[in-house]
Amino acid sequence: MNIVIFGAGYVGMSIGTMLSVNHAVTFIEIDGNKRDLINQNKSSYDDQEINNFLDNHDCNISACLFKDINYDEYISILALPTNYDEQNDSFDTSALDETIELLEKDSRSIEIIIKSTIPIGYTSKVSSKFKNQKIFFSPEFLRENSSLQDNLYPSRLIIGNSHKGVYALNFEEAIKQSILLDKEFLRMSCEEAESVKLFANTYLALRVAFFNELDSFALKSNISSQNLIKGISADERIGNYYNNPSFGYGGYCLPKDTKQLSAQLKALEISSPIISSIDESNKTRKETITEFLSIAKPNSIGIYSLDMKLGSSNSREAAILDVIKLLKNKKIKLYLFNPKKTENNLGLIEETSLSKFIKNSEIILANRVPKELEEYRHKVFSRDVFYRD
C-alpha cells in the first residue's frame, strides 16, 4: 500500500517510519531541509531512535512536494500543525482545510486520515462540506521523546468515522501490519474520537496541576513534597506515576488541548469548573515559583536549559519561559546555560561554559535536574523530587 503523509514533524515522521517497513511512504513537506534529510534516509528532526530504526530496517521513505506524488492510489495521513488561536479561542485548522481541499481534487487518495489534533466536530464538518465519507480521525497518543516506540507499541488504537458503517479498512490494515503487538482498533464516531483526544490530554494536564498544587503547599509549609506524594500515590487508584512536580506543564499538546476543550465546553454552555480552572492553575504555579525564588533576594539566577523537560527537542510553551518573564520583572540578573544551543531571544546573558555559568549564578533554576548539576545541588532550585518525568 502506498501512503502519503502530510507533515514531517514528530507525529508524521514517527508513524511514517513505522509504516515504511511494509509500505511505500512519501512525506509531503514544504521545508526543503526536512525533505533533504528524509531523502537521505534520516529523521526530519533530531531523533536518535528514529535514525537507528531507519539504519537497521529496510525502510521505503521519500519526501517531495504535493505536485510530485507519482502513486496511482494512496492513503493520505494528515499530521499538520493546528496551533491554538487565542483570538478565535480555537485550533487553527487552516493547513488541514487547504490540504483536504487539495486531496478532494485528487481521485488517487482513497482514504484521508486526520492525525492532527482538531476541534470536536471538525471531521464531520469537512466530511459534509466535501460529501466525502472517507475522511476519518485517528488520534495519536505519543510522547515526544518516545514517539516511535509509542507507535510500535500503542496503548490503544482509535479510529473515528463520520458515517456509520464506513471504515478506514486500508489504514487499519496498514497499522496492524506494522505495530509490534496484537491490538484491535476501537471504532467509534469521529466526534467521540475527537473527544477522547481532548479529554485524555486535559486529564494529564489536570494531574500535573494537581501535584504541582500539592508541591506548592509543601513548599509553603516547609514539609517534604516527596513524602506526601509517596503516601498519596501508594493508593492504587491514584498510582505512583506522572506525579513528579515541575514548574508547570508545557509542550506541544497539553496547553492547547486544555484550552480547546475548555472553550468548546463554554460554547456549549456546559459548566466545567474543574476543566476551566486548569490553565489558571498552571499560570499560578509559575507565579508561586517566582515568588518563592524572590524571597532570598538573589542578585543573579542561572537558567539551566530552555527545554520543556530532559531529553526534549523543543522548548515550546515550556514553563521555564514564563518563569523567566516573571523573573525579569524582578530586575534580577539572569544567566542562561542551554545545552541544546537553541536560539535565545529572551535577552538573557548566555554562558557557553558550564563552570562559568555555575560560578555566576547564586541560584540555578532547573525544571529537571541532570547528572551534570548533581554536584552543585546546593545551588540548584528544582521541584524535581523523583529525578524523572
Classify the C-alpha dihedral 262-163-76-50 as positive or negative.
positive
> Residue 313: is its pLDDT beyond 70?
no
Residue 190 annotated in active site: no
Averaged pLDDT of the chain: 95
Distance CA 147, CA 166 (A): 29
How do residues 181-230 score in pLDDT, each as one tens digit? Answer: 999 999 999 999 999 999 999 999 999 999 999 999 999 999 999 999 99
With 70 as the cut, is the pLDDT of residue 314 above it? no
Output the CATH code of domain 198-381. 3.40.50.720
Residues 6+ apart with CB under 8 A from 211: 229, 243, 244, 245
**CA 366 to the chain's CA centroid:** 20
Q: Where are the domains of the chain?
A: 2-183, 198-381
Q: Which positions ≥6 away from 291 have C-beta within 8 Å?
A: none
Under the banding of pLDDT at 50, 70 and 90, the label for residue 317 is: confident
Output the nine-digit C-alpha cell for 179. 505495530
Can you tell me the distance from the alpha carbon of 8 to that of 10, in angstroms, rounded to the nearest whole number? Answer: 7
Q: Report the percent of the chain where pLDDT is more than 70.
A: 98
Distance CA 388, CA 98 (A): 40
- Cα torsion 260, 265, 266, 271: sign: negative
Q: Give whole-number Cα distances, 36 to 4, 99, 143, 212, 266, in Å.
A: 17, 22, 25, 42, 44
pTM of the predicted protein model: 0.94
Evaluate if residue 340 carries a pLDDT over 80. no
User: Tens digit of pLDDT for each residue in 144-170?
Assistant: 889 999 999 999 999 999 999 999 999
CA nearest neighbour of 27 among 64, 53, 77, 60: 64
- Measure the CA–CA gap between 45 and 32, rounded to whole angstroms: 13
Whole-number Å distance between alpha carbons of 363 and 386 = 20
Q: What is the DSSP string of 224-281?
A: -HHHHHHHHHTSTTT-SSS----S---SSSHHHHHHHHHHHHHHTT---HHHHHHHHH
The yes-or-no answer to whether 2-183 and 198-381 have a common fold is yes
> Rounded distance, CA 101 to CA 55, Å?
36
pLDDT digits (tens, 9 = 90+) for 226-266: 999 999 999 999 999 999 999 999 988 999 999 999 999 99
CA pair distance 227, 241, nearest whole angstrom:
14
Give the CATH class of 2-183. Answer: alpha beta
User: Which pLDDT band holds residue 311 (cuts at 50, 70, 90)?
Assistant: low
Q: Could you say which of 59, 64, 190, 253 is catalytic?
A: 253
pLDDT for position 66: 96
What does the alpha-carbon distance between residue 29 and residue 375 come to, in Å, rounded to a whole number? 44
pLDDT > 90? residue 331 = no
